Amino acid sequence: MNPKLVPLIDSLPSTVPFVGPEALERKRNGLFRARLGANENGFGPAPSVIAAIQKHAAESWKYADPENFDLKHALASHLHVAPSNIVVGEGVDTLLGLAVRQYVSEGTPVVTSLGAYPTFNFHVAGFGGRLITVPYRDDREDLSALLDAVKRENAPLVYFSNPDNPMGTWWDADDVERFIDALPPTTMLILDEAYGETAPASSKPAIDISRSNVLRMRTFSKAYGLAGMRCGYAIGAQQQITAFDKIRNHFGMNKLTQIAALAALKDQDYLRQVVGKIIAARDRISAIAEANGLKAIPSATNFVTIDCGKDGAYALSVLNRLIERDVFVRKPMAPGLDRCIRVSVGLDAELDIFEQQLPLALQAAS
Amino acid sequence: MNPKLVPLIDSLPSTVPFVGPEALERKRNGLFRARLGANENGFGPAPSVIAAIQKHAAESWKYADPENFDLKHALASHLHVAPSNIVVGEGVDTLLGLAVRQYVSEGTPVVTSLGAYPTFNFHVAGFGGRLITVPYRDDREDLSALLDAVKRENAPLVYFSNPDNPMGTWWDADDVERFIDALPPTTMLILDEAYGETAPASSKPAIDISRSNVLRMRTFSKAYGLAGMRCGYAIGAQQQITAFDKIRNHFGMNKLTQIAALAALKDQDYLRQVVGKIIAARDRISAIAEANGLKAIPSATNFVTIDCGKDGAYALSVLNRLIERDVFVRKPMAPGLDRCIRVSVGLDAELDIFEQQLPLALQAAS
């Protein structure tokens, strides 16, 4: 006899949201030459951020301030909200898990798009929620169908990312606001804006913290180039933000991460520069795709999703031929989206390799 | 109308396990001169660890390997177990939360000692468990009473730390092994060995991964001096370790933390040196206590708990008089333990300040 897991936990699969590039490298027994699959920012964090980490490395013996006071105040000032409208966490992944735990118990219906962020689904499954998935429409999340599903299922939680991962598409602020207006006030919207900094300003509704049914999530992992440091934050009405304190890991933040995120936020010049580089790299990936007769889907993120023009099996073959050629990319797997591969921005040298290898991969996949 | 929290979450208090020193500094409007309250290791991590963080700071744009492959393999080799017997997480706090979630749902009885680690209790409350608390006996966790409570309540989960926080006391390996042998096989023991490296070897049972009802938790936060980096690990039977993968945040680890922990594990010479310093600082804290007519409780940790010789109100007054004098310490709050204050090791300069201020604080408290 062994200790018995809670039935819900026992029933969960051992599958993981997605496999890391390091696991693929171990399996292939060789390193990738181009790391373009994880929607990281290969341009890296600002030199000022790297310097701050190095300067404070010796302070890593101290627990971080559990209130994230300095970072929360800096974010509040940057966003023109109160510190009590912000919760900081160990990446958006952690905040998604905490938000799901607040609104989901066994059998709770939760609405998302079919093929959207798998870690959100992982958390919903982990708390016993019942996922209602709405297909994309014209490669965008389908706002009106999401709304219909929320109402039909009386769902207390809906997930929508703008811009979207894995397609890179987006809605304008007006459309998002209409969606929010139409939501039942008892339905919490998680508006994932992880890629917000690389998106046009016209896609971002003004922050309205009087809305008690919207949690906006942002991150230092993408434009700020700090995926490895794990820092995200959610913005919302005070009452909803306070609920995170009931269950979050108060001493969970990394001390150097607090320092790095503060330094990153201060260096808005670097952010502007790097967003320029991301846009240029996006354009180059699109041009490479089109030079190979493929269609690049317009993107507001730090990646470009490329329509390989045939079915999912063909796109998977292209993906595998790229991986064999030391180019790490990923692909959407949901029906309708699975005809695509997804290529993250990176340094010119990495895009050179992608440019060289894509025609060979396409040839081999045919 | 607002979105409605799950009733369990709604019912939770907004209280936090404990307040950080930074919050106290903000309240006092002044910095502490001696940071001796959070059981950190003021001697800091090894120079080799600081150098590794600095060297790899620019890689912080990469997500960490979600499998923690290199660190898990290094730990496995160090501990003479298989990598599949180890799960790495963002500090023991996170692993405690995940373990509780595996075994606790609403109403589940969970046994711990009255006054033991509050973050464990926070997690138990957070998943709706019913805490059964067993008083300490002679300032040690009471193994036979813990066992009685487990059997009486048919509890699937029991927490025991060796050495103990907040008292610093410990049991010998033989006693711990007898306790494990006597536990029902359906009861999971969390054996928290956060302070294991500073304890006598005779207090640590041999690791036996054939035991499916023991999870041993260890950390890089204490002897290794990396509290701010957030890295802990659990050792157990493969089946129990695998269950963590069903719910853990696979991309939750900090990239620089993986690098720092690996470097720390490699530098066992430094660990030996720093444990020597910790023991010397412990001895000095005890001597300071005794020079002031107080009784230092023998400790196997990186702190010394000092019996102030009167009641809880008096010890609280001593604590507050120390805090007023810029000396950050904490104290146990449970009845029977609350006559004490708890002083973490630190640099000589900080213990000098403690030595100067303790007599003044005692005088002021009288």
pLDDT tens, residue by residue, B79-95: 999 999 999 999 999 99
Test A53 with B53 for CB contact under 8 angstroms. Answer: yes
- CATH number assigned to the domain comprising residue A304: 3.90.1150.10
pLDDT band with cut points at 50, 70 and 90 for residue A14? confident
- pLDDT bin (cut points 50, 70, 90) of residue B288 is very high
A330 lies in which domain range?
18-44+269-365
Residue with tokens 């010394």: B304
Query: What's the mean per-residue pLDDT of chain A?
Result: 97
CB contact under 8 A, B256 and A3: no
Residues A320 and A360 in one domain: yes
Do the strands B303-307 and B295-296 form a parallel or antiparallel pair, or are they unpaired? antiparallel
Residue type, A126: G
Is B238 part of any domain? yes
* Cβ neighbours for B325, distance < 8 A, ≥ 6 positions apart: B357, B360, B361
The verdict on A66 and A150 lying in the same domain is: yes
* Mean pLDDT, residues B197-223: 97
Residue A190 located in a structural domain: yes
Note whether residue B144 is domain-resident: yes
pLDDT of residue B17: 77
What's the start-to-end Cα distance of chain A, in Å? Answer: 54
What was the pLDDT predicted at A78? 98
Distance from CA of B363 to the nearest CA of A (A): 31
Residues listed for chain A: 366
Cβ distance A225 to B187 less than 8 Å, yes or no, reads no
Same domain, yes or no, for B97 and B216? yes
Chain A 181-240, residues with CB within 8 Å of chain B CB atoms: 185-188, 212-213, 221, 225-230, 239-240
- Domain presence at residue A7: no
pLDDT > 70 fraction of chain B, expressed in percent and rounded: 100
Instruction: Kindly tell me the sign of the dihedral angle through the C-alpha atoms of A227, A115, A300, A312.
Output: positive
CA of A55 to nearest chain B CA: how many angstroms apart?
Answer: 8
Whole-number pLDDT of residue B338? 98
Q: Is the pLDDT of residue B16 over 90?
A: no
pLDDT at position A17 is 77
- Identify whether A5 is part of a domain: no
Nearest CA in chain A to B251: A93
- The band of B12, judged by pLDDT with boundaries at 50, 70 and 90, is very high
Q: CA-CA distance, A263 to A282, in Å (whole number)?
A: 26
Q: What tens digit of pLDDT does each residue of B143-185 get?
A: 999 999 999 999 999 999 999 999 999 999 999 999 999 999 9
**Mean pLDDT, chain B, whole residue set:** 97
Number of other residues whose CB lies within 10 A of the CB of residue B18: 16
- Assess A50–B contact: CB distance below 8 Å, yes or no: yes
In this structure, the dihedral spanned by the alpha carbons of residues A267, A271, A273 and A278, taken in order and rounded to 10 degrees, is 160
Q: Are residues A74 and A169 in the same domain?
A: yes
* CA–CA separation, B33 and A43 (whole Å): 40
Q: Is residue B63 part of a domain?
A: yes
Q: Is residue A147 part of a domain?
A: yes
pLDDT above 90 covers a percentage of chain A that reads 98
What is the distance between the alpha carbons of residues A343 and A341, in angstroms, rounded to a whole number?
Answer: 7
Indicate if the pLDDT at residue B130 is higher than 90. Answer: yes
Inter-chain contact A252–B91, Cβ cutoff 8 Å?
yes
B132 plus B84 within the same structural domain: yes
Quick one: closest CA in B to A127, which residue? Answer: B247
Residues A63 and A189 in one domain: yes
Chain segment A162-175, per-residue pLDDT in tens: 999 999 999 999 99
**Same domain membership, residue B200 and residue B57:** yes
Distance from CA of A287 to the nearest CA of B (A): 25
Number of compact structural domains in chain A = 2
In this predicted structure, the answer to whether residue A15 has a pLDDT above a threshold of 80 is no
Q: Are residues B12 and B99 in the same domain?
A: no
| Band of residue A18 on the pLDDT scale cut at 50, 70, 90 | confident
* Residue at which a domain ends, from B239, B267, B295: B267
| Average pLDDT of the segment spanning B277-297 | 98
Q: What angle do CA A183, A189, A192 make, to 5 degrees?
A: 135
- The answer, for A58 touching chain B at a CB cutoff of 8 Å, is yes
CB < 8 Å to B97, chain A: 249
Q: Which of B267, B301, B325 is the last residue of a domain?
A: B267
Q: What are the CB-based long-range contacts (under 8 Å, 24+) for A320-325? A: A320/A365, A321/A360, A321/A361, A321/A362, A321/A364, A321/A365, A322/A354, A322/A357, A322/A358, A322/A361, A323/A24, A323/A28, A324/A361, A325/A357, A325/A360, A325/A361
- Name the pairing type of β-strands B340-344 and B303-307: antiparallel
Evaluate if residue A121 carries a pLDDT over 90. Answer: yes
Interior angle at CA B240, CA B237 and CA B242, nearest 5: 105
pLDDT confidence band for B336 (50 / 70 / 90): very high
pLDDT in the model for residue A16: 78
Cβ-nearest to A58 among B9, B44, B187: B44
Identify whether residues B66 and B106 lie together within a single domain.
yes
pLDDT classification of A312: cutoffs 50, 70, 90:
very high
**Last residue of one domain, picked from the residues B216, B249, B267:** B267
pLDDT at site B291:
98
Q: Do residue A251 and residue A300 come from a single domain?
A: no
How far is Cα B63 from Cα A21, in angstroms, rounded to an integer? Answer: 9
User: CA-to-CA distance for B305 and B195, rounded, in angstroms?
Assistant: 14
The ipTM of this complex is 0.97
Residues A246-253, mean pLDDT to the nearest whole number: 97
**pLDDT at B18 (0 to 100):** 83
Q: What is the mean pLDDT of residues B317-346?
A: 97
CB pairs under 8 A between A and B: 266
Task: Say yes or no: B119 and B22 in one domain.
Answer: no
Mean pLDDT, residues B248-252 taken together: 97
Closest partner CB to A44 (pick from B61, B64, B108): B61
